[in-house]
Every structure is written in C-alpha cells, then in structure tokens.
A and B are shown apart, each in its own frame.
Chain A
Amino acid sequence: MKKIAKSILVFVLVASLLSGCGTSTKSENEASQTSKEGVVTIDFWAAPNPPQQTFWKQMAEEFSKVNPNIKVNVSPMPETPSSEAGIQAALAGGNAPTISENISRGFAAQLVDSKALVPLDSMDGWNDIIKSRNMEDTIQAWKFADGHQYVLPIYSNAMLFAWRIDILKQLGYDEPPKTYSQIIELGKKLREKYPDKYLWANPDLIDSTWWKRWFDFFMLYDAASNGNKFIEGNTLVADDKAGVATLKFLEDMAKNKLLLTQVATDPFETGVSVWTTIGPWTFGTWKDKYPELKLNETYVLTPPPVPDGMSTNNVKTFADTKGLVIYAQSSLEKQEAAMEFIKWVYSNPENDMKWFEITNLPPARDDVNTNEQFKAYLKDHPELQLYAESIPNAIPPFDNVKFNDIQTLIGQKAVNPVVAGQIDAQKAWDDMKQAVQGVLK
C-alpha cells in the first residue's frame, strides 16, 4: 500500500513537472489576448527578413493609433528548419498566428487541403480591398481550384534575365538576343573569344530541389507557351510543344558547352557569365557590393527568350509572388480584426508605396505603371521599371497540393538529365509527363 502511495505521488509530481513544460492552450491564449477593455490582439508573422519586418511593424503601429481596439503583434516567422515547417509546427501545436505573409501559392494549396486557411473572399471587406487596392486583374490568377481566394498577393516579381551588355558589346552586339537560336549563336562567339567565360552559370540546373525550377524551367516555359498553364486542378495541361522547345534549348546550350553548372561565386557580377535570372532584391546587394554595375552601361534587363519564330513582344514570365493568409485556427473575432487590419493597410496606396520603397518588391496591383506615386518612384529607380511593366505578363506558380513532388520531378526527370547530357529533350519531356501524371493520380 505504501508502495502504491509512493508511486502515485511520484506520478503526480512528474505529471505536474511535465505540465509545466507545455505551453498554454489556445483558449487560454485567446482569453489572455482579449482584454477586459475589449482590445483584440492579433499575431502577425512577417517574412524573416529585416525590410519586410520593418514595414509591417510600422503598419501595426500606425494602425493601432487609429484602431485602439485592435492590437497587432508583429514578429518574424520561425525559419528553422524552414518557414513552411515553422507554420506547420505552429498549426500542429495549436499556436498558429492570426495572419502571416510570405505564403506561396503552392504552400497555400497544401494549407487549403488541410483546411487551415480562411477563404478570404467569403469574408466581409474582401471586395473593398480588391477595389481600393486596384487589383481586380491581378487577383484573377490567384483563384484556387475550388473557386475561392485564400491568399492576398502582396508583391509580384516578374522574373527577368540580365545580360552583361559591356561584354556583349565586345562581341559586336548592341542589344541582347531575344530568341533561342540567337542566344546559342552569341554563346558560341563568347566561348570562342573568351574560353573561360560561359553564357549562363547556374549550378541549380543540375539540382532537383523543387523551388529551383521557378527560376529556370518555369521562366522559359511560361515564355515559350505564352503563359499556358502547366497544371490545372489535378490535371497536367502543359503545352507539349513549348515544353520540348524549352528543354531542347537547355540541351543545345549544354551540348555547346555554354552552361557552367559548377558552383561559382557571383559569376554574373564578376563577368564569368554574361546571362542570369534576376529579381529586384538583387539591386540592394549590388549597390553595396558591386557599385560598378550600372543599368544600360554594364547590364541590361530583358524578359525570357522565346523559341524562334515566336513574337518577342509581351513575353510571359514566371511571377515570384507571395501573399498573406488568415488562419482558420484563430477565433472569428481575431479573423475579423485581421481583415480590418488588411483593409486599413491596402485602402491607402501610400502604404504600398512605403512597401515598394522599403523592400524593392513591386506591389501586386494593376496600377503600378499608371499610378502617379509609383511612376515617380520608378523614374528614380529605372532598374525596377521593367519589373513593373512586366507584371501583367507574369504567371504565378500553379496551386496543386503536390507542387513540391511535381517540381522535384521536373528537375529529376527533365531539366537535370538534359543539362547533364544524359537524355534528349523529347524523352525527358515524356518521362517527366509520365512521372507527374503518376503523382497526380
């Protein structure tokens, strides 16, 4: 009996100790966050980079001044081992924030599949945001397969290519080539004159990590297919002709030894290669590290190249774009407060202007090129002009829940073996299609 009593005592002690290790439950959290005065506190997870955190902290402060009943707590989202895993862990533990930004369409599709997101279009105020932010056209491409809108896109980077025009001029070019055959021809001339230089230095071409396909395959495919979808719902609807042409272009570059797949330090900046994919976030780094790189003097920006015979006007490209979501796990009161905050931020174009100035990422609006405020800013930052102009031509990533597997297969079955010279473009495309269809079943 004494033994049993002792065991129970030990169990109770250990249990109390363990309970102390746990976090408070969701309801306790919520109770503590909605004070007696009726102030609703919402948690906002910002992308783990200083400019975006600065912007959202500023917004939260200004919002709280005019809406004292809602308090927005901005904190960086956990990024170890990845921001997606951080959100997954928070959802699993019942500690998800009310809102977070930095959500791609693919990840959003996974969250939607797990019923973790609130369909924003079903909330009061959604239409006001779309109208006041002038994004009726942009938002169309963000509709999910079930017809709902779960993500409010914040920025849209129409990914571009940069050319070292100073080196191209040494080869006799006044402007960069626009079609596949013109590029191959330029590459051959480059290698002949400068055997140590390459057309495109990109080790990602032999890496099957899923997101790397955004910045090689999808940029080229979106251009070659004139924006034809790759996946629609749960069906592979890719344009075969454009897909094979894209892979053939990579195959031709590899065969002519125009690609450097070895790791190189800043190859474009140091002139090891003359061509690279580029996003607007690069210019901040260049300003500090490579001030000698000047637009139209040392480099120029272009949309992706297209297959021979295709129009080189209004060329489509991949949109590196992310947005914010509201989590279904939070209470209705918090969801509504979150919507109020979003509505307040995007009712004033000044706030999008602040975003543009702080982050260099073009806001996902239809009027970036026509609104006077943005026009004035772009005049002072000509390197961002083409990004803003290309927004209507930018295709966001597909929203399938298996996006990670599918994009890994595009690497493993198509891009990687073609660049390594293991198989030809047609076989790679067929293998990739078969594998992707297997995943979609």
Chain B
Amino acid sequence: MKRRQEKLGWLFASPYLLYSLIFFVIPLFGALFLSFTNWNLISPQYENVGFLNFVKAVKSQEVRAAFFVTYKFMAMFVPIVLIGSLAISLIINSLPRFKSLFSVGYFLPYLASGVATSIVVRGILSYNSALNVWLRNTWDLNINWLGSSTLAPLIISVMIAWKFMGYYSLILTSGLESIPTEVYEAAAIDGATGWVRFFKITLPLLYPAMFTVTILAVGLVFGIFTEPYVLTGGGPGLSTNTWQMEIYNQAFSKLNAGYGSAIAIIDSVVTFITILVVRKLLEVWGEKYGWD
C-alpha cells in the first residue's frame, strides 16, 4: 500500500519534475558549461577559458554596480511592498462586505505589463508633464526624476511595489483571516486597543505569512529588469543597473554568451546566499519573540 502511494506521489510530481529538468536543470548545466568558455553561441570555434570570465566579472564596474544596486533596491522595495501590502490586507480584512471585489481590484496591477506601466510613468515624470509643469509654476521646483541616482531607483522600487502589493496582500489577507476572533475578544476584555492589538496579536500571528512575503520580495529584487530597461537603461551612471540588465547586455547585446553566463551563475549564488541569510534572520527574529 505504502509503495503504491509512493509511486502515485512520483506520478503526480512527474510533470513538475520534467518541467524543471527541461527548463531549469538542463539550462543550468548549459550555463555552467558556457561560463567556462568564450563562446558567443555562433562561432564554430571557442576556447575553454577556465575561471577567466568569473575573474573578469568580479573586477567589472558594471557587475559590482549590479551587486550593490540590487541591495539598494532591496532596501527600498522590501519595506515599501511589505508596509503597502500589509496596509491593503488590513483594509480589505476590515471591510464589512465586497472583500473579494477589492482584493481583485488591488491585484489588477500585477497583471499589467511592465513595459506599459513604465511608458506611463515615463510620461508622468517627463519635463513637460502636467505634474512637472505644476511643480515648476507653483513651487519653482524642477525635479529630474529619472536623472537622479537617488530618485530613479526609488521610483522603480515604488513602481514594482505598486505592481506586487495586491498580490502579496492576498497572502497576508488569508493570514489575517486565519487569526481566531476569540483572541481579539479576549484582548479587548483585557483592555488592549488599537496599536497594542496590532503589535501584540496581529503581527505575531501574521508572522508565517509575512515570512513568505518577505522571502518572495527579496527573491524578486534579483529579477528586476523591465522597469530599468525601459525607464533608465541602467542609468544615470550605473545607479539602476541590475543583474538582469547586465546579463542581458552581455549575452544578447554584446553577444558574450560565455561571460554573460558567468555573471548569471554569480547572480544565482548571490541570490541563494542572500535568501538564505534573510531566511535565517527572520527565523532568529521569530524565535526571539516566540512568533514562529
């Protein structure tokens, strides 16, 4: 009986395993092979260059920028999206009716094309947009939104947060709904109100959902591409040059497939380590307060 169940388990898992094999494992080994060559995928000749691509990547100004820019995005995006999605989920959870309707409403930006939203944002922030004309005429303020190395990453972070808040709020809303009302009622009898209830009951009991959302958000930062590609091209300077931008530039624009693969491998390792560290920190934090 047990063997039969095991077989059934493998059978059900097989589509995903096959999918992973074709679209993840085989390409991963392909990328590993490429990263040790100087092949551009076209030339009939190529050489094994050992770790040269990795050494070059570590020394590269653009790769180093991608490394730090990603953490800059993380510092901006993760708090914005966490606070925003939590706020949305609290609002939805407190609604007396039409919860599903509002949930779907907030989820819609997730379905919007990154290219389309980037073009709209570009229009809103352009020199002769209504916003900037108003700022100049009323406050004598001329802000170069996308030309500032501080504002450009912040704008991109806000855009991506806007897109994902609705999605993450679905996870948090289901977390909120699973908190028993009796806990709040008991707290109310003890005189706990407002912020005390939020910090002493809601947040600790929402910890598992917050944990998931935080890990998802951290992972997402390493995949940022469309918004900087359309809005800033990685600039000004290299202030929005992400890992994906650099991989794209090397592999598809400069046709350095070997070097691009080496950057992709480094990116994977950095992503893996970062998620591991963040996960550990969250676990330690949860354990400290007894939330896990």
With A208-B235, A209-B233 given, is the CB distance from A201 to B127 under 8 Å? yes
Evaluate contact between B43 and A21: CB separation under 8 angstroms.
no
> Is A66 part of the contact surface with B, judged by Cβ < 8 Å?
no
Evaluate contact between B233 and A263: CB separation under 8 angstroms.
no
Q: How far is the CA of A81 from the CA of B252 in the complex (A)?
A: 8
Q: Which of B126, B128, B252 contacts A84 (CB 8 A)?
A: B252
> Is B146 part of the contact surface with A, judged by Cβ < 8 Å?
yes
Q: How far is the CA of A264 from the CA of B127 in the complex (A)?
A: 5
> Is B22 part of the contact surface with A, judged by Cβ < 8 Å?
yes
Report which residue of A91, A208, A210 has the largest number of chain B beta carbons within 10 angstroms of its beta carbon: A208
Considering only CB atoms, which chain A residue lies closest to B43 in the complex? A114
Q: Which of A21, A81, A84, A207 contacts B255 (CB 8 A)?
A: A84
Considering only CB atoms, which chain B residue lies closest to A210 in the complex? B253
Evaluate contact between B40 and A114: CB separation under 8 angstroms.
yes
Q: How many A-B residue pairs have CB under 8 A?
A: 88
Evaluate contact between A263 and B122: CB separation under 8 angstroms.
yes
Evaluate contact between A14 and B127: CB separation under 8 angstroms.
no
With A88-B42, A113-B43, A206-B236 given, is the CB distance from A264 to B254 under 8 Å? no
Q: How far is the CA of A141 from the CA of B18 in the complex (A)?
A: 53
Evaluate contact between A262 and B42: CB separation under 8 angstroms.
no
With A88-B42, A113-B43, A263-B146 given, is the CB distance from A405 to B254 under 8 Å? yes
Q: How far is the CA of A21 from the CA of B248 in the complex (A)?
A: 26
With A207-B235, A261-B144 given, is the CB distance from A82 to B41 under 8 Å? no
Q: Chain A interface: which size bin? A: 35 or more
Q: How far is the CA of A256 from the CA of B234 in the complex (A)?
A: 27
| Binary CB contact string for chain B from 169 to 213 against chain A (1 if under 8 A, 0 otherwise) | 000000000000000000000000000000000000000000000
> Is A34 part of the contact surface with B, judged by Cβ < 8 Å?
no
Evaluate contact between B128 and A272: CB separation under 8 angstroms.
yes
Evaluate contact between B236 and A270: CB separation under 8 angstroms.
no
> Is A368 part of the contact surface with B, judged by Cβ < 8 Å?
no
> Is B129 part of the contact surface with A, judged by Cβ < 8 Å?
yes
Name B146-162 residues within 8 Å CB distance of A: 146-147
| Binary CB contact string for chain B from 210 to 228 against chain A (1 if under 8 A, 0 otherwise) | 0000000000000000000
> Is A110 part of the contact surface with B, judged by Cβ < 8 Å?
yes
> Is A85 part of the contact surface with B, judged by Cβ < 8 Å?
yes
> Is A265 part of the contact surface with B, judged by Cβ < 8 Å?
yes
> Is A115 part of the contact surface with B, judged by Cβ < 8 Å?
yes
> Is B290 part of the contact surface with A, judged by Cβ < 8 Å?
no
Provide the residues of chain A in CB contact with B42, threshold 8 Å: 88, 91-92, 111, 114, 116
Evaluate contact between A263 and B40: CB separation under 8 angstroms.
no
Evaluate contact between B252 and A85: CB separation under 8 angstroms.
yes
Q: How far is the CA of A45 from the CA of B144 in the complex (A)?
A: 41
Evaluate contact between A21 and B22: CB separation under 8 angstroms.
yes
Evaluate contact between A265 and B248: CB separation under 8 angstroms.
no
Name B100-139 residues within 8 Å CB distance of A: 122-123, 125-129, 136
Closest CB in chain A relative to B144 CB, distance in Å: 4
Closest CB in chain A relative to B125 CB, distance in Å: 7
> Is B96 part of the contact surface with A, judged by Cβ < 8 Å?
no
Q: Which of A89, A91, A272, A404 contacts B253 (CB 8 A)?
A: A404
> Is A18 part of the contact surface with B, judged by Cβ < 8 Å?
yes
Provide the residues of chain B in CB contact with A129, threshold 8 Å: none
Considering only CB atoms, which chain B residue lies closest to A113 in the complex? B43
Provide the residues of chain A in CB contact with B147, threshold 8 Å: 203, 206, 261-263
Closest CB in chain A relative to B258 CB, distance in Å: 13
Q: How far is the CA of A201 from the CA of B233 in the complex (A)?
A: 17
Q: Which of A92, A115, A267 contacts B128 (CB 8 A)?
A: A267
> Is B44 part of the contact surface with A, judged by Cβ < 8 Å?
yes
> Is A418 part of the contact surface with B, judged by Cβ < 8 Å?
no
Closest CB in chain B relative to A418 CB, distance in Å: 14
Provide the residues of chain A in CB contact with B233, threshold 8 Å: 207-209
10 inter-chain pairs at a CB distance below 8 angstroms, sorted by A residue, are A17-B18, A88-B41, A208-B233, A261-B147, A262-B126, A262-B147, A264-B126, A265-B127, A272-B127, A420-B236
Other A-B pairs beyond A113-B43, A264-B126, 4, CB < 8 Å = A207-B232, A263-B125, A265-B123, A270-B128
Shortest Cβ-Cβ A-B pairs, 4 listed: A264-B127, A114-B43, A85-B252, A92-B41
